[in-house]
Amino acid sequence: MQTNDNLWFDKIDCIRDKALVELVNGLDVSRDHQNCFDSQSYSSRLLNGLTGKNQARQGEINKALTEGLESTLSWLTALTDSEAYSNLAIQQVNQRVDKLTEHLTHLAGDYMETRSKLEALAAVTSDRLTVLENDIANLKLEVKAKTQLDLVFSRWSAGYWHGFPIATRCYIALEELRWGSFGDFIRSVNDKERSDYLELLRNKVIEQLAVDSGSAVKERIDSQTWIEHSAEKTREAVEFLGDWCLEYKHPATFFVTQDWEKAPLYMPRIISATKLGNYLTEEVFGQEDA
């Protein structure tokens, strides 16, 4: 992918977090060191484009992708140490590193260097998680969550994602929040606070969907209206973000992210901003309860 083709990735902050997690999930310490993961995978191409800010940096990344597991772990450690990645991404990386470390103890052969690199990556993720715990203890996270909520909806209403279909703008906003400070806060609070904040989120989603579509909040319109004008180059990224959804379990998310031709069997053919907003919010944040 050329750098110019990746400019629109800057519009979706959380796609970088998911790409990092996907790459770490793909690591396998039992494979040959020269084949630790496929350098042509969508995740690696995303991180190449998002972190390769200049030719020198791109060269370092390409080298890391070809020199083996130890080099890859060093590269991932440097990336993970960056403040650019969300706490949800760091949590998932930390869980995967713990599993890899446990698996390594059962392997024969000279894996001392690999163990050392894993320990370095684990130290970085542990430090980041400690910072998160302190934020929660000091109630700073709620302020960050409110700020992110305002920022995301300010971007949406200002046309930041104007190049995407209406429903896709909603889905991107929800994923940005789930991967960011808002999601961290939602996962840390009690059921009453979680319910209150999700109600606030749903109301904002419904209002903005209605504004973008030019309809009343409860006015039912053709479901295809919500996904019209999708650009070919944006589909791969949206499909990647929503690859967790199942047609029968998350029909609205599947409709918005995976199927661009027709609505799934479980998706209404006419639907209001209220219904669509409720469905998408419930499905995206329902992942936390799965």
Which of these, 94, 175, 172, 77, lies nearest to 133 by C-alpha position?
Answer: 94
One digit per residue, the tens of pLDDT, for the chain of length 290 reads 444 445 556 678 888 788 777 777 776 554 444 344 444 455 665 655 555 544 555 555 445 444 556 666 666 676 666 655 677 877 787 787 777 777 766 654 555 667 777 777 778 777 878 877 777 776 788 999 999 999 999 999 999 998 899 999 999 999 999 999 999 999 988 899 999 999 999 999 999 999 999 999 999 999 889 988 666 667 888 888 999 998 889 999 999 998 656 556 778 889 999 999 999 999 999 876 65
Which of these, 16, 21, 39, lies nearest to 125 by C-alpha position?
Answer: 21
pLDDT of 157 reads 96
CA dist., res. 1 & res. 21, Å (int):
20
How many beta carbons lie within 10 A of that of residue 288, not counting itself? Answer: 12
pTM: 0.72
Are residues 171 and 284 in contact, defined by beta-carbon separation less than 8 angstroms?
Answer: yes
> Burial of 68 by CB count in 10 Å (0-12 exposed, 13-18 middle, 19+ buried)?
middle
pLDDT of 40 reads 45
Both tokens assigned to 229:
């004008």
CA dist., res. 184 & res. 144, Å (int):
10
Name the CA radius of gyration of the chain, rounded: 20
Where helices occur in 27-111 by DSSP H, the ranges are 42-51, 55-66, 69-80, 87-104
pLDDT of 186 reads 92
Question: Can you name the residues that pair with 222 across neighbouring β-strands?
Answer: 270
Tokens 């083996």 belong to 68
pLDDT of 182 reads 95
Which of these, 49, 44, 38, lies nearest to 1 by C-alpha position?
Answer: 49
DSSP category for residue 109: S
